[in-house]
Amino acid sequence: MTARDELLRIVPPPVGVEIHVDWAEVEEALGVALPDDYKWLVERYGPGSLDDFLYIFQPESPFSMTRLLESSERAAEILDQARERGGNIPYETDELLAVAATDNRDTIYWVTRPEDEPNSWTTTANGARNMKWPHFEGGLVEFLAAVMSGAHRVDVFPQVFPRKPVFSPYPAPDARRR
């Protein structure tokens, strides 16, 4: 079973969502190609939250805090500020690209090594209130499937997450429902 199949089994996506994204435009704005599993996730699930706690950043969103470009730029600024204050960050800022966040403002990043091979990027997280950097040897969908199934615990997330593996959509600018 693939990570995509596992995530679909654990956390069914909303019915009838069709998200159409101009990926070339998004990647040009970011200055980097994005992993195929992320594109699949956005197009299959659309904007929303996992367990009303974890939000995947979207190319377009009615909520600025969940827009990929703005959120990743802000996360990079925060990393640089933390580094200037002496924070122990095990990655260079340009090796990280924020892709998700929690209600607690914990941030999930892609480790963008090698930059020109996005499908081989791994995942890390950082707690909003600590300097832990747990690393996951897999892409975003693999990470989400492992976390939502309970097979992988992320020590910067609350012990009670996930309470119930569910996806709750919110309106998308370009979503068409059947």
CA distance 66 to 6: 24
Of residues 150, 133, 169, the one with CA closest to residue 50: 169
- Residue 178 pLDDT exceeds 80: no
Write out pLDDT tens, residues 120-169.
Answer: 999 999 988 778 899 999 999 999 999 999 999 998 999 999 998 999 99
Give the C-alpha distances (Å, rounded to integers) separating 53 from 56, 105, 166.
10, 10, 10
- Ordered by where they begin, the domains of the chain are 3-170 (3.40.1580.10)
- Residue 174 pLDDT exceeds 90: no
Q: What pTM, to 2 d.p., does this model score?
A: 0.92
Of residues 64, 65, 26, 58, the one with CA closest to residue 43: 58
Give the C-alpha distances (Å, rounded to integers) separating 51 from 26, 59, 160.
27, 21, 11
Q: Are 123 and 136 in contact (CB under 8 A)?
A: yes
